[in-house]
Structure 1
Amino acid sequence: MSDKSATPMSRDAVDHALGSLNDDRDRIASALLDLENHPGYQLVKGTRLAGATRRRWEEAEARLLLLWRLFDAYQRVLDTAGELRARQSKPADATLRELSALLEGPSVELPLDEIPLEKRTLLGPTSERCTLDAAVERMTTVYGEVIDLVSAVNAAWEQLLGPLDEAEEGWREGARLAQSLETGRDAELDRIGRELAAAGQIVRTDPLALVRDGRADTSRLDQARADLDKVRAGLAEAARVRERYEQRVAAIGTSLARLDAVLDEARTAYRTVQVKIASPGVNEPHDPVPVLRERLDALAALHGSGRWPELADGVADLESTVAAAIDQATRARTLIAGLLERRDELRGRLDAYRVKAARLGFAEHHDLIRLHEEAGALLWTAPCDLQQSTVVLAQYQRVLRSLETGTD
């Protein structure tokens, strides 16, 4: 092991190197023990892993075992050097050469697993040695690999377990709601439960399978949570409808009465428009009330049989349909009544133009008299031609403006 031709280290250099190397050994031992006692390491080690995560962990464990064996070899060299140095307070040159070989030369025998294939023979691996510094470099590399893997697994769990727990709690809440409704199993809730069980198995045993570009892919869990939100909302609404069925039905009845009233006003306006407005271009409002009342009556059967989710869907759909019908009827009433309002507006504008013409001294102007008579005949004759009335009134306005500005 010693090299007779090499210049040996001095006694002070040996003592300094031994002190430094022993400090390094203590730090390495502490780091290795801290790693094995770390909660993240213990969690990974104590989990029954699967898939890619298991393969990588088995590789890391094998590498960590080699690290410990290399560390043992490293310690043996330091122990040998320490014992050799302790024998003599003033070591001879031969001893210094031996110490130099231990501290600076290839004194650490590598574990057989660390010997590359190209350095093995038919009779088995030949021994290979490295320096203490090289041994530290190898141990540092392996330590970093294990740390990286443990960190990656724990980071994936941190990103995945929260959404998984939230989804599973959401599923349990949905199951409690479904059970409280006493309607049997919910097919969609069962489907989501199976999806969560499959996703949970991957999350807990093979989290690295879900890592993409350094981030855990939570899309599967996010979709399950979104689906659960819909199911729970539906079940919660079913529970509310069960508790407040009479009030909801009464409110729908009130809305139908309002719809009937709006339609009656629209039909009355329609009949008036048909008489008083020429070519109104509007249709008589459709009456959906009878069909909607039939749907309202049909809800009683769902209520009587305790089919709460179907009842909730039926109530919500009917409420929405009635609200839309009221909105449509209101727009129809406004449109139809607007034709009469337009006629009254044109009448008012004609009177205002006549007053303005008189104020400006053009009341007897023959063109204005003719246009006023023509517009009056159109606006006060049933049915009123709104389009032609608008044209004549615009002509009256242009003539009056020309007279006022002197541009006739």
Structure 2
Amino acid sequence: MNRDEVDRALHDLRDEKERISAALLDLEGHQGRRLLDGTAVSGETGRLQAGLRSRLTELWSLFDLYGAALDAAEELRARHPKPGQAQLAELTRLLTGPSVELPMEEVPIERRTLLSSPTGEKLTLAGTVERMTPLFEEAARMVADVDAVWSELLSVLGTVEAERGEVAALAASLGGGPDPELDRACREIDVLAAAVRADPLSFKKDGRADASRLRAAGTGLAGVRRRLAEAAAFRDGAEARLRQAALAVDGVREAEAAARRARDEVLVKIAAPVLPEIADRSAVLVDRLAAVKGLRDARRWNDLAERVLDLERAAAAALEQARADHDLVTGLLDRREELRGRLDAYRVKAGRLGLAEDAELTRIYQEARELLWTSPCDLRKATVTLSGYQQAISSRTKGSDR
């Protein structure tokens, strides 16, 4: 190379070195590399971290050797403003020849031979760049890959953890003891958060970050939040709800009392009735009402909301059962009234048919009337007698028709 060619080569190589340096610094400063460098990772991400560190170490080592050879050429050219043939030959060797000497430990085992020189492999400056290029591209792909996965996962995780903080604060404001559902959701989030930070690549699916488990945990947390928000809303209207619950309990007590009065009446007026026992559910409800008022006094709003809702449901069920018992009991009295009405109707029919003086019909009528107007009333026997009275009237009607 002549002097002009040497100077042009030095200029181009200095520019090349600056661009390589800038690229390496960008790689070192990449968010994906910083995330990996500042975190203890494991699994697939740990293997990628080890591979990245190996490539970065080799890249910087090659760059330092590249820079050292270029510095030697620049120093030689600076010492000889008008280089002679010997200096030009050395400059040519440094710039285009195998001037980059790799220590043996820098030569990968797969590139060594049994008789490799202990001084290691020698590369040209261009060969050194060629050696660095695939290492840089692989390292860049690694940091970009982990950054893309990690960034999306951390974004979703950040949202979920912020939601957890808000839900936990809401639960604390409601008082009460531990919330099993919230605790379970928080444990699940903790496990997922640890996995995201330790091995984000384990969440990679089809080449992309799979945040579905994180989002599912967030959905579960949203369910807890809705329940707690309902409890908070309940807190603001707690007194009105408690008054309504007390009225519901009173309603059950009154309905049970009415059913018992009806039962006592039936036992007097109906012979051998099959009647249900009227359970005293209102007494249990009164105890539960006192318990929920205790929760109100303790300001345990989350527990209170659930207990009042349960109490309202229990009161509604008890009221329905008390009314059903009442209807079942009074059904016997209604049956007696129905039979009385039918007896009167049949008597009117007999009179209209001119059978008012029929001795047999009168006897059956009197028997049925005595049964129906005597306490206790034998409904079964009265029903049979009334049926006989109806049949007797019908048979006489058919006889007169003939």
Matched residue type, 1:84: L
1:111-260 equivalence runs, <5 A:
111=103, 112-121=105-114, 127-248=120-241
Matched-pair contact (CA < 8 Å) for 2:45–2:198: yes
Matched residue type, 1:24: E
1:54 maps to which residue? 46
Partner Cα distance (1:134, 1:207) in 2: 36
| TM-score (ref. length: structure 2) | 0.60
Q: Secondary structure at the match of 1:120?
A: coil
Aligned length: 284
Partner Cα distance (1:130, 1:158) in 2: 39
Q: 1:298 to 1:127 in 2, by over 3 A?
A: same
1:237 to partner: Cα distance: 1.0
Matched residue type, 2:16: D
Matched-pair contact (CA < 8 Å) for 2:167–2:225: yes
Matched-pair contact (CA < 8 Å) for 2:288–2:311: no
1:53 to partner: Cα distance: 1.7
Q: 1:214 to 1:121 in 2, by over 3 A?
A: same
1:62-77 equivalence runs, <5 A:
62-77=54-69
Partner Cα distance (1:188, 1:73) in 2: 61
Q: 1:77 to 1:60 in 2, by over 3 A?
A: same
1:222 to partner: Cα distance: 0.7
Matched residue type, 2:162: E
Partner Cα distance (1:298, 1:165) in 2: 45
Q: 1:94 to 1:125 in 2, by over 3 A?
A: closer
1:98 to partner: Cα distance: 2.8
Matched residue type, 1:86: A
Matched-pair contact (CA < 8 Å) for 1:53–1:208: yes
- 1:33-81 CA-to-partner distances (Å, cap 9, x unmatched) read 3443455533432222233222211221122112111111111211222
- 1:76-109 CA-to-partner distances (Å, cap 9, x unmatched) read 2112222333343443334333322222222222
Q: 1:147 to 1:13 in 2, by over 3 A?
A: same
Matched-pair contact (CA < 8 Å) for 2:30–2:143: no
Identity of aligned residues (%): 45
1:81 maps to which residue? 73
Q: State the Cα RMSD in Å.
A: 3.7
Deviates more, 1:246-255 or 1:190-199: 246-255
2:14 maps to which residue? 22
- 1:125-170 CA-to-partner distances (Å, cap 9, x unmatched) read 6621222112112223222333332222332232112221222222
Structure 1 or 2, whichever has the larger Rg, is 2
Q: Secondary structure at the match of 1:135?
A: helix
Matched residue type, 2:176: T
Q: Point out where structure 2 has 5 or more consecutive residues left out of the alignment.
A: 249-280, 317-402
Partner Cα distance (1:146, 1:302) in 2: 66
Matched residue type, 1:134: G
| TM-score (ref. length: structure 1) | 0.59
Deviates more, 1:296-305 or 1:201-210: 296-305
